[in-house]
């Protein structure tokens, strides 16, 4: 049974683009042996969602997993820095994070679950605190899923539990969007907004480098 479990885990890792042993070593060294279970729970989530045909169910499971398990905390408290973008391993190990950390963890999880990179964008927005009628805004980040190039994006957010189409999130004003392939001035998935290289977003480049070092590919 142990051999079978190990074989399944290796197959999962090869299929999803992460090194399971490397991730386990990284989270254990950084956050202690008790954090290993958090990683196993995440791997179970990935295994389950890869077997789900419905994209909507994949989104729901990833969104719910992090919204329930991760405590929202500002970077100054969680990382003693004014602005820190955590890798999914860091977010899992620490159990805390801000809006960027939630969105990034969901992005990596959905990629590992078989969602195409072209269907996912992290979106930097201005969020109206208290609802669409509020005059108080703050910087915020969400994850968007596009079922097709011309589809309205579905928004995954740590502030709102339900996954809603962008048209129902009047409290959010997009500034720019990005993924591992590029940066866009807008949020349209089609070709109307040309992308530029991600080298313009240094924090994202640094995060991708750290994630690869931890075991993500």
pLDDT in tens, 12-51: 444 457 898 999 999 999 999 999 999 999 999 999 999 9
From residue 144, how far is each of 31, 39, 75, 83, 167 by CA, in Å? 30, 24, 23, 22, 12
Q: Quick one: average pLDDT of 155-159?
A: 96
What is the model's pLDDT at position 166?
96
- CB-based contact 58:185 (threshold 8 Å): no
Residue 144 φ/ψ, nearest 5 degrees: -115, 140
Does 81 fall in a domain? yes
Q: Quick one: average pLDDT of 209-214?
A: 94
Q: Helix, strand, coil: what percent of the chain each, to 5?
A: 50, 20, 30
How many domains does one find in the chain?
2
Does 75 fall in a domain? yes
From residue 66, how far is each of 8, 42, 87, 159, 178 by CA, in Å? 24, 9, 13, 12, 20
What is the model's pLDDT at position 199?
67
- CB-based contact 69:95 (threshold 8 Å): yes
Distance of alpha carbon 66 from alpha carbon 52, whole angstroms: 18
Give the domain extent around 25. Answer: 2-114
Does 6 share its domain with 72? yes
Does 92 fall in a domain? yes
Indicate the pTM of the whole model: 0.88
Does 85 fall in a domain? yes
Does 11 share its domain with 103? yes
Q: Which residues pair with 165 in a beta bridge?
A: 154
Does 215 fall in a domain? no
Distance of alpha carbon 194 from alpha carbon 150, whole angstroms: 14
User: Is the pLDDT confidence value at 1 over 60?
Assistant: no
Q: Tell me, what CATH number does 190's domain have?
A: 3.10.620.30
Does 208 fall in a domain? no
Does 92 share its domain with 40? yes
Model confidence over 97-118: pLDDT tens digits? 999 999 999 999 999 999 999 9
Does 164 share its domain with 80? no
Does 93 share its domain with 185? no
Distance of alpha carbon 11 from alpha carbon 43, whole angstroms: 12
Tokens of 123: 């979106």
pLDDT > 70 fraction of the chain, expressed in percent and rounded: 87
């Amino acid at each position: 049974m142990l051999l079978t479990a190990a074989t399944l885990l290796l197959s999962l890792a090869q299929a999803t683009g992460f090194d399971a042993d490397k991730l386990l070593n990284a989270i254990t060294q950084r956050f202690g042996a008790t954090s290993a279970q958090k990683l196993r729970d995440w791997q179970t989530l990935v295994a389950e969602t890869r077997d789900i045909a419905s994209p909507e169910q994949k989104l729901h499971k990833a969104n719910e997993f992090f919204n329930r398990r991760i405590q929202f905390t500002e970077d100054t408290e969680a990382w003693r820095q004014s602005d820190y973008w955590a890798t999914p391993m860091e977010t899992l190990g620490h159990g805390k994070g801000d809006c960027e950390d939630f969105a990034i963890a969901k992005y990596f999880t959905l990629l590992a679950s078989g969602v195409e990179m072209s269907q996912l964008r992290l979106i930097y927005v201005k969020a109206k605190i208290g609802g669409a009628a509020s005059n108080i805004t703050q910087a915020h980040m969400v994850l968007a899923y596009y079922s097709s190039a011309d589809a309205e994006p579905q928004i995954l957010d740590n502030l709102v539990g339900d996954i809603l189409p962008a048209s129902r999130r009047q409290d959010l004003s997009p500034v720019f969007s990005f993924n591992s392939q590029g940066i866009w001035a807008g949020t349209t998935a089609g070709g109307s907004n040309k992308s530029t290289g991600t080298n313009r977003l240094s924090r994202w480049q640094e995060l991708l480098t750290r994630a690869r070092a931890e075991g993500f590919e």
